[in-house]
Structure 1
């Protein structure tokens, strides 16, 4: 038996984009929170890179799934052609 649907839960996205850090515009706030702002920005950019890697992996996974479904569907069409004649 050919299974055509893996279901969207099988490839449900787990990639969550990071929330941008707070960036004050007041120079006094920038000076007062400089260390925290730098740390938050560093963390944000690290999280952005992780997010993009996750999306890349998810894309590869979905591409492989689509390839498998294409093969399954082709076999299904062959079976349907055999049944009609």
Structure 2
């Protein structure tokens, strides 16, 4: 039986959180850049939703990998137990 290790590098770092948009505090800047600020905020919130979906997907994938690893490890322990009798 061959046991393969996935390692954390295979799953780490594929979901990157978005950077929050810069929002000016000066009222004149807010008025001058209102359209840009709206677009930046809407883009940010859309990116946040994608980020959370990515994390959910990664969680499901890692959960499935952990389930398979647990089943494989249980088989290994059974084999070792059988050999020690």
TM superposition score category, shorter chain reference: over 0.9
Query: Structure with the greater relative contact order (CA < 8 A, sep ≥ 6): 1 or 2?
Result: 1
Please identify runs of 4+ aligned residues in structure 1 that moved more than 6 A: none
Provide the residue aligned with 2:28 in structure 1. 28
Give distance in 2, aligned partners of 1:4 and 1:78.
18
Q: TM-score, normalised by structure 1?
A: 0.94
Q: Report 1:18-57 matches (<5 A).
A: 18-57=18-57
Structure 1 gap segments, 5+ residues each:
none
Shift of 1:5: 1.8
Q: TM-score, normalised by structure 2?
A: 0.94
Give distance in 2, aligned partners of 1:62 and 1:37.
37
- Is 1:75 aligned to residue 83 of structure 2? no
Shift of 1:13: 3.1
Structure 2 gap segments, 5+ residues each:
none
CA contact (8 A) 1:24 1:30 kept: yes
